[in-house]
């Protein structure tokens, strides 16, 4: 049986009557910044068949951060402790806690941790102990956060202490009843009595008074500490110089905090806000104003005289359009002419003869809502799809005059009078993809075929509701089975091309029919050429 002191350490009982087995104990304490809270990783490695691991009652099953192995039993029925039962001899657990009586803090802020409370068990054991024999290997380590520093440490048993960075480890062999004392404190790098964790001014010179933030006092909050402040009562938010006194950059007797004209020339007469006088409020100070009685709100030049800002020969005080172009013709109000009265002045009007009453864009030209090149006022088809070619009335072209515009026509050369469906192709008839050819004996498309399939893909985009079969056919030359495989491969090749160029895959299936459905006599070269074809069949 082995036992570690409560809270940080938990008790372990070997639930076996076998002879003593090797025991390796590892405890890793991850201390937190407050010097009391921690996370404990506890590991035991033995060849025993099972272990019972006991923790204080306040440690519940949900408090554990890690348990290995995960096959364990939890027992909280006992009044003083909770128990983890493992059916193997080795385990690792991790859980958080907080030091109580184990850690004390003196008036100098030194923390002292003791692993034993000085009370021996009824069996005579104390501190960290194991039964029925000693720990074969004992490892005990603390990891301190950066704000804490070690002072000293010792144990009652011989072992090896190792310090690395801000960690401390103790290694021992064949020991029992181990007690350990560790002292540490929070860092105070500038020795001002405020620990680094709370110190906003970590480089305060030695022996100077500081506030609870670790900074030297600055009663008027002007950025100059009282020790160096020659004007210790500077008003709040006022800018101060290195002496702590309010800044008056231009030396006009008005501090910058109140000075709205902080660069007044030396000797200038200023008002209460530090600005030189401007009697007519035209923005030119009296000292420089050659026209000291300018009309109220008039635009003036740097001499203080009224100006014509846009150079249209109408002074600003009478100019209703003070930003006219210099080369533009204006009326007596100073506004540019608009010959066609479309709301766009002549200097910016690219269509200066727009008929009266028509809406125009910012350039003075009639609106073309569907961007087909035909103005809305003359456009009989106002919602032509983008990119579609139109006639002079603004309506889409229908070259074969079958009622289906070219952009959506899968059969753009249907003859006059043919009864077509919404694809522009003869009703119920397969759509032969004329010009789609393959390299001899393969399913690889020729370069010319790509141009034809690109147009097909564009037309199919206008019919997302269609469901089509890409049907492949061959002539009768070659074996029937090989022709069937070749036709299937060619149909799939066309389907892949169309899908890759924007046709939804759900629209298309592929089927090869080999030589089984000829449309011409295979005895002639012309007939065989007609039989080698790819068609689109409507499935809906």
Domain boundary among 186, 220, 242: 186
Phi, psi dihedrals of residue 486, rounded to the nearest 5°: -65, -40
To the nearest 10°, report the CA torsion of 279, 282, 286, 290: -120
In the chain, how many domains are there? 2
Q: How far apart are CA 235 and CA 274, in angstroms?
A: 18
**pLDDT confidence of residue 53:** 92
Looking at residues 507-530, what average pLDDT do you find? 95
Mark residue 424 as left, alpha or beta (left: phi above 0; alpha: psi -120 to 50; beta: remaining): left
What tokens does 102 get? 């184990």
Domain stops at, among 160, 186, 212 = 186
Q: What is the CATH number of the domain that holds 464?
A: 3.30.1330.60
Single out the residue in 136, 166, 186 at which a domain terminates.
186
Q: What is the mean pLDDT of residues 367-388?
A: 73
Q: For residues 433 and 456, what is the distance between their CA atoms, to the nearest angstrom? A: 9
Residue 364 lies in a domain: no
Let me know the angle formed at the C-alpha of 147 by 145 and 153, rounded to the nearest 5 degrees: 70
Residue 370 inside a domain? The answer is: no
Q: Which letter does DSSP use for residue 377 in this model?
A: G
pLDDT of residue 450: 92
Dist CA 410 CA 507 (whole Å): 15
Which helix H or strand E contains 496, and what residues bound it?
Answer: helix 480-500
pLDDT at 394: 67
pLDDT for position 265: 87
Handedness of CA 523, 527, 529, 532 (dihedral sign): negative
With a cut of 70, say whether residue 92 has pLDDT above it. yes
Higher pLDDT, 74 or 263: 74
What does DSSP assign to residue 360?
Answer: B
pLDDT of residue 5: 41
Q: Which of 7-16, 103-112, 276-285, 362-371 has the highest mean pLDDT?
A: 103-112
Taking the CB of residue 536, how many other CB atoms lie within 10 A of it? Answer: 23
| Percent of the chain residues topping a pLDDT of 70 | 90
Instruction: Report which of residues 397 and 128 the model is more confident about.
Output: 128
Which residue segment(s) compose the domain that 519 sits in? 431-538
Q: The CATH number of the domain where 179 resides is what?
A: 2.60.40
- Strands 81-86 and 51-56 turn out to be antiparallel
Q: Where are the beta strands (DSSP E) in 156-190?
A: 160-164, 167-175, 180-186
Q: Is the residue at 118 inside a domain?
A: yes
What angle (nearest 5°) sits at the alpha carbon of residue 169, between those of residues 163 and 171? 125
Residue 358: pLDDT over 80:
no
Q: Name the residue with higher pLDDT: 249 or 476.
A: 476
Give the pLDDT confidence of 232-249 residue by residue, as tens digits.
888 887 888 888 888 888
165 within a domain of the structure (yes/no)? yes
> What pLDDT digit, counting tens, does each position of 174-193 carry?
999 999 999 999 988 888 87
Residue 182 lies in a domain: yes
CA torsion, points 266, 271, 272, 274, in degrees to nearest 10? -40
The answer to whether the beta carbons of residues 328 and 345 sit under 8 Å apart is yes
- Express each pLDDT in 485-513 by its tens digit: 999 999 999 999 999 999 999 999 999 99
Q: Strand 110-114 relative to strand 180-186: parallel, antiparallel, unpaired?
A: antiparallel
Confidence at 207, pLDDT banded by 50, 70, 90: confident
Mind giving me the DSSP string for 139-165?
Answer: EEEEE--TTEEEEEEEESS--EEEEET
Bridge partners (DSSP) listed for residue 1:
none
Rg value, the chain, Cα: 47
Pairing of strands 148-155, 508-512: unpaired
The answer to whether 344 touches 352, Cβ cutoff 8 Å, is no
- Would residue 268 count as lying in a domain? no
The predicted model gives 313-340 an average pLDDT of 80
Read off the tokens for 372: 């087909």
Q: Lowest-confidence range among 10-19, 404-413, 491-500?
A: 10-19
Position 348 in a domain: no
* Alpha-carbon span 278 to 264, nearest angstrom: 13
Is residue 84's pLDDT more than 70?
yes
Q: What is the DSSP letter of 417?
A: T
The residue assigned the tokens 């603390």 is: 142
* Rounded Cα distance, 467 and 162, in Å: 77
- With H, G, I as helix, E, B as strand and everything else as coil, classify residue 490: helix
pLDDT at 341 over 50: yes
Q: Which long-range contacts (CB under 8 A, 24 or more apart) does 395-404 make?
A: 400/424
Confidence (pTM): 0.44
Q: Which residues pair with 81 in a beta bridge?
A: 56
Q: How far is residue 296's CA from residue 186's CA, in Å, rounded to a whole number?
A: 70
In-domain check, residue 346: no
**461 DSSP 8-state letter:** T
pLDDT greater at residue 530 or residue 217: 530
């Amino acid at each position: 049986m082995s036992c570690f002191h409560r809270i940080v350490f938990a008790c372990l009982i070997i639930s076996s009557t076998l002879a003593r087995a090797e025991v390796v104990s590892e405890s890793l304490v991850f201390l937190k910044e407050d010097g009391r809270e921690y996370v404990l990783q506890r590991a035991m490695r033995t060849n025993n068949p099972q272990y019972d691991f006991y923790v204080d009652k306040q440690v519940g099953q949900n408090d554990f951060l890690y348990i290995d192995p995960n096959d364990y039993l939890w027992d909280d029925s006992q009044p003083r402790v909770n128990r983890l039962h493992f059916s193997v001899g080795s385990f690792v657990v991790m859980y958080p806690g907080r030091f109580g009586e184990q850690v004390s803090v003196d008036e100098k802020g030194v923390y002292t941790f003791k692993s034993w409370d000085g009370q021996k068990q009824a069996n005579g054991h104390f501190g960290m102990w194991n039964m029925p024999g000693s720990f074969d290997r004992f490892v005990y380590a603390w990891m301190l956060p950066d704000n804490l520093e070690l002072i000293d440490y010792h144990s009652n048993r011989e072992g090896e202490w190792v310090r690395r960075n801000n960690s401390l480890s103790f290694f021992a062999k064949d020991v029992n009843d181990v007690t350990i004392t560790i002292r540490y404190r929070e860092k105070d790098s500038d020795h001002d009595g405020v620990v680094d964790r709370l110190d906003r001014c970590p480089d305060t010179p030695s022996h100077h008074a500081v506030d609870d933030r670790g900074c030297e006092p600055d009663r008027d909050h002007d950025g100059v500490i009282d020790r160096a402040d020659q004007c210790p009562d500077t008003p709040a938010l006022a800018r101060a110089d290195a002496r702590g006194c309010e800044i008056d950059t231009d030396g006009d007797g008005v501090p910058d905090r109140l000075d709205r004209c902080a660069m007044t020339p030396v000797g200038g007469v200023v008002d209460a806000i530090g600005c030189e006088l401007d009697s007519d409020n035209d923005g030119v100070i009296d000292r420089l104003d050659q026209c000291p009685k300018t009309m109220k709100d008039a635009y003036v030049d740097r001499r203080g005289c009224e100006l014509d800002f846009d150079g249209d020969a109408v002074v600003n005080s009478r100019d209703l359009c003070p930003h006219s172009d210099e080369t533009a013709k204006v009326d007596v109000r100073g506004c540019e002419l608009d010959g066609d009265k479309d709301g766009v002045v002549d200097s910016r009007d690219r269509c200066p003869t727009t008929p009266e009453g028509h809406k125009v864009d910012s350039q003075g030209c009639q609106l073309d809502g569907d961007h087909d090149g035909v103005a809305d006022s003359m456009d009989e088809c106002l919602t032509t799809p983008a990119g579609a070619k139109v006639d002079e009335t603004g309506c889409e072209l229908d070259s074969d005059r079958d009622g289906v515009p070219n952009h959506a026509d899968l059969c753009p050369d249907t003859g006059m009078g043919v009864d077509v469906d919404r694809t522009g192709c003869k009703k119920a008839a397969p759509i032969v993809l004329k010009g789609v050819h393959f390299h001899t004996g393969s399913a690889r498309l020729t370069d010319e075929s790509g141009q034809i399939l690109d147009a097909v893909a564009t037309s199919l985009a206008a019919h997302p509701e269609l469901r089509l079969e890409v049907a492949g056919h061959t002539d009768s030359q070659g074996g029937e089975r090989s022709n069937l495989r070749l036709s299937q491969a060619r149909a799939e090749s066309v389907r892949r091309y169309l899908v890759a160029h924007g046709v939804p895959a759900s629209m298309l299936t592929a089927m090869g029919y080999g030589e089984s459905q000829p449309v011409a006599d295979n005895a002639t070269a012309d007939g065989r050429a007609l039989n080698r074809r790819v068609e689109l069949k409507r499935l809906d």
